[in-house]
Amino acid sequence: MLLLLLLTSAFVLVPWTGAGEIIGGREVKPHSRPYMAYLIIQNGSKPFFSCGGFLIRPDAVLSAAHCVDKKGITVILGAHNIRGRERSQQKFRVRQWVIHPKYSRDGFKNDIVLLKLKPKARINKNVQLISIPRRMERVIVGTKCEVAGWGWTSVPGHTTNVMREVELKVQKEEICQNLFKNYQRQSMICVGGDSSKKASYKGDSGGPLICKKKAHGIVSHGRERHPSPEVYTNISYFEPWIREQLRKFALQELPDSPSYN
Ligand SMILES: *[C@@H]1O[C@H](CO)[C@@H](O)[C@H](O)[C@H]1NC(C)=O
Ligand SMILES: *[C@@H]1O[C@H](CO)[C@@H](O)[C@H](O)[C@H]1NC(C)=O
């Protein structure tokens, strides 16, 4: 019931021009992407919409800033079927997060947020970390990458309870520069679109673009009726900022409560 409400409202409220689902993909093998996070965004006590994210350290999840803004956030790790009562799931109420100081909703510039988990996630076979690239690492045009999430599976709005994935290729930046007036070459990655109908879509926002086993991009935004090509946040560009935030997270750290299970 709760999730139904959530998915219904996702329809209306997730900005897509704000990318969010997996179109043209397939169900993932359960728990084959153990770094994936499911985010429930609340307005006060009400679930509001959902997003993706990914675990880069036991106390840190990366996602898209437009998912979060100033609302309440719950993170679920270790999930396959988000409506199932899976024993693998770890749930966190997020109390601290850092949105990039230059994030702008207009054009989704610097669309990146780091969420702090407290207590830390328990790393096991269903909950694991994914690496991010270093600052000068880049993905070249034509690189095959994958994106996963729980978002819409078609433009008219079919939803899914289980995690899905799709393979996409890095596209020439000129293509996105022509389609998106606020496209920024360094801080964004242009993905998909060579006559394929594959894409991420509403509800996938915040999820990772995985290229060669590293999270190179964050699902950010696309066009409502033509989901492909679409724009991802370029993680490599933000790597120094991410490292700095992670250092701050660690400095503020209090001992974990021994009582979490
Ligand atoms: C959030 O909830 C409050 C109180 O229920 C409501 O007045 C407000 O319009 C909601 N915000 C949005 C963006 O829907
Ligand atoms: C991403 O950022 C890095 C580091 O600033 C840069 O070298 C690269 O060209 C950017 N774009 C892509 C698509 O990797």
What is the distance between the alpha carbons of residues 201 and 210, in angstroms, rounded to a whole number? 16
Residues 133-181: pLDDT tens digits?
Answer: 999 899 999 999 999 998 866 555 666 789 999 999 999 999 999 999 9
Residue 216, both tokens = 């190179």
Which atom of ligand 2 is the closest one to the Cα of 173?
Answer: 13
Contact 186 CB / ligand 2 (< 6 Å): yes
What is the distance between the alpha carbons of residues 92 and 73, in angstroms, rounded to a whole number? 8
pTM of the model: 0.85
Mean pLDDT in residue range 242-259: 70
Provide the pairing of β-strand 90-94 with 72-77: antiparallel
The catalytic residues are 66, 111, 205
pLDDT above 50 for 13: no
What's the gap in Å between 4 CA and the centre of ligand 2? 39
Contact 236 CB / ligand 2 (< 6 Å): yes
Residues 183-202: pLDDT tens digits?
Answer: 999 999 999 986 556 766 66
Q: What is the 3-state secondary structure (H, E, C) of the chain?
A: CHHHHHHHHHHHHCCCCCCCCCECCEECCCCCCCCEEEEEEEECCEEEEEEEEEEEECCEEEECHHHHCCCEEEEEECCCECCCCCCCCEEEEECEEEECCCCECCCCECCCEEEECCCCCCCECCECCCECCCCCCCCCCCCEEEEEECCCCCCCCCCCCECEEEEEEECCHHHHHHHCCCCCCCCEEEECCCCCCCECCCCCCCCEEEECCEEEEEEEECCCCCCCCEEEEEHHHHHHHHHHHHHHHHHCCCCCCCCCC
What's the gap in Å between 135 CA and the centre of ligand 2? 8
User: Rg of the chain over CA atoms, in angstroms?
Assistant: 17
Amino acid making up residue 160:
T
Confidence of residue 19 (pLDDT cuts 50, 70, 90): very low
The ligand whose atoms approach the alpha carbon of 142 most closely is 2
Query: Which has more pLDDT, 42 or 8?
Result: 42
The ligand whose atoms approach the alpha carbon of 9 most closely is 1
Q: How far is CA 246 from CA 90, 120, 143, 238, 256, in A?
A: 21, 13, 28, 12, 17
What's the gap in Å between 106 CA and the centre of ligand 1? 21
Which atom of ligand 1 is the closest one to the Cα of 43?
Answer: 1
Q: Which residue has the tokens 């397939």?
A: 26
Contact 189 CB / ligand 2 (< 6 Å): yes
What's the gap in Å between 168 CA and the centre of ligand 2? 18
Q: Which residue has the tokens 């994030």?
A: 103
Ligand 1 pocket list (CB less than 6 A): 43-44
The ligand whose atoms approach the alpha carbon of 72 most closely is 1
